[in-house]
Amino acid sequence: MDIPIWKEHLTHLPLGDIYLFSEVGSTNLVAEQKIKAGAPPFSLVIADSQTEGKGRLGRSWITRAGKALALSWILYPEPGRLQPETLSILSGLAPVAVVEVLREIYALPAEIKWPNDVLVEGKKAAGVLVDVRWNGCLLTDVVLGIGVNVARGSVPPPQQLNFPAISLEEAAGKEISRLKLLTQIMGSLIKWYSRLVEPSFIQAWNSMLAFKGQKVNLTTERGLRGQGEVLGISDDGSLILISEAGQETEYHSGEIQLRLVDRS
Ligand code: BT5
């Protein structure tokens, strides 16, 4: 990663400070330090590699030098814009932005595995980790962490994966510039963040949803939470499943994992 060149390209976007590193533990943790140090809104932390990249629920995310994108975007939502009960919407922001870019610019068959995994050809190409901080009922700051597998060597070996994974270059069958992809994703993120509480955002998320009409299991670490056919996303970003008896149930994100039911 040529840090001065990357920085120069990113300065054209309406962002706060831009922090670029060749290696960090986790860009989300660096972003939290930057928040404490007074980083302006829309600041961006990017690293070429992570030694302790974070997944959700204590899992880890692998980012190999020169192969992937690892970024954390700092947001300070205006007071009252997002309530605890509408927080799920925020988990859709990064996947909607990434999938839009992959579909429209790279013609890749990208989808969102609710709540926030990006699949290409049914395999995970990007993961999202949203870290939030509250002051009472007020959401004060958000770190939106995004990891994207770009080059072939970005995908960890199967024994380190809890779901099949793929890189964008493997799916596209051609080289992809990480810098161009980054600026495209940031452009899409900026656009969708401004539309987050508009109906068009949920419509976009719905149109990108994987497994529609298919039967899935929803599990937590404590076991099965629900089962049914995927119907869509509700206005607050919950997943709606319909049972065989026709009963609809909404699930909020958080601990839930989604898996296609194996019919073999
Ligand atoms: C995620 O967690 O998918 C969220 C990943 C977020 C990573 C970004 S990178 C920038 C920012 N800074 C951070 O420290 N994190 C964010 P989860 O759904 O829990 O998936 C984690 C699981 O995915 C691991 O337990 C592995 O099985 C698998 N995994 C690890 N690295 C992967 C990779 N590069 N590609 C696909 N799967 C991976």
Q: Give me the sheet containing 110-113, strands edge to edge.
A: 18-24, 44-50, 68-75, 138-149, 123-135, 117-120, 110-113
Reported as type and span, the H/E element at residue 148 is strand 138-149
Q: Which atom of ligand 1 is nearest to the CA of 154?
A: 34
Q: 105: which 2 tokens?
A: 């610019």
Cα(128) to centroid(ligand 1), Å: 7
pLDDT at position 94 over 70: yes
pLDDT at 78: 85
Would the CB of 149 count as within 6 Å of ligand 1?
yes
How far is the C-alpha of 160 from the C-alpha of 163, rounded, in Å?
9
Mean residue pLDDT of the chain comes to 91
> What are residue 93's phi and psi, to 5 degrees?
-60, -55
Q: Which atom of ligand 1 is nearest to the CA of 47?
A: 10
pLDDT at 191: 97
Instruction: Out of 130-144, 165-179, 217-231, give the one with best mean pLDDT.
Output: 165-179
Nearest alpha carbon, ligand 1 atom 7: 147
Strand 18-24 and strand 44-50: pairing? parallel
Q: Is the CB of residue 148 less than 8 Å from the CB of residue 165?
A: no
pLDDT at position 42 over 90: yes
Written as one letter, the residue type at 150 is V
Would the CB of 123 count as within 6 Å of ligand 1?
no
Nearest alpha carbon, ligand 1 atom 28: 161
Would the CB of 247 count as within 6 Å of ligand 1?
no
Buried b (16+ CB within 10 A) or exposed e, 180-207: ebbbbbbbbbeebbeebeeeebbebbbb
pLDDT at position 254 over 70: no
Is the four-CA dihedral 233, 236, 237, 241 of positive or negative sign? Answer: negative
Q: Is the CB of residue 47 less than 8 Å from the CB of residue 146?
A: no
Nearest alpha carbon, ligand 1 atom 26: 161
Buried b (16+ CB within 10 A) or exposed e, 230-261: bbbbbeebbbbbbeeeeeebbbbbeebbbeee
Nearest to 196 by CA among 91, 107, 116, 121: 91
From 33, 51, 61, 71, mutation site for ligand 1 pocket: most ligand atoms within 8 A of C-beta: 61
